[in-house]
Amino acid sequence: MMPAQTQTPSLDKRHALVTGASRGIGYAVAQQLLAQGARVTLMGRGEAALEHARASLAALGEVAVVSGDVAQQHDVQRAFAAARARFGPIDILVNNAGQAVSQRFDRLDEAAWQQMLAVNLTGTFHCMQAALPDMLGQRWGRIVNVASTAGLIGYAYVSAYCAAKHGVVGLTRALALEVAQKGVTVNAVCPGYTETDLVHEAVANIVRKTGMTPDQARDHLAQRNPQGRLVQPAEVAGAVVWLCQPGAGAINGQSIPVDGGEVMAG
| Backbone phi, psi, residue 81, to 5° | -65, -40
Comparing C-alpha atoms, which of 151, 106, 146 is closest to residue 128? 146
3-state secondary structure of 44: strand
* Distance from C-alpha of 21 to C-alpha of 225, rounded to nearest angstrom: 25
Catalytic residue among 27, 155, 161, 193: 161
- Please spell the DSSP secondary structure of 176-201, one letter per residue: HHHTTTTTEEEEEEEE-SBSSHHHHH
Comparing C-alpha atoms, which of 148, 124, 174 is closest to residue 17? 124
Comparing C-alpha atoms, which of 83, 76, 73, 119 is closest to residue 100? 119
To the query of whether residue 161 is one of the catalytic residues in this protein, the response is yes
Q: Which residues are catalytic?
A: 161
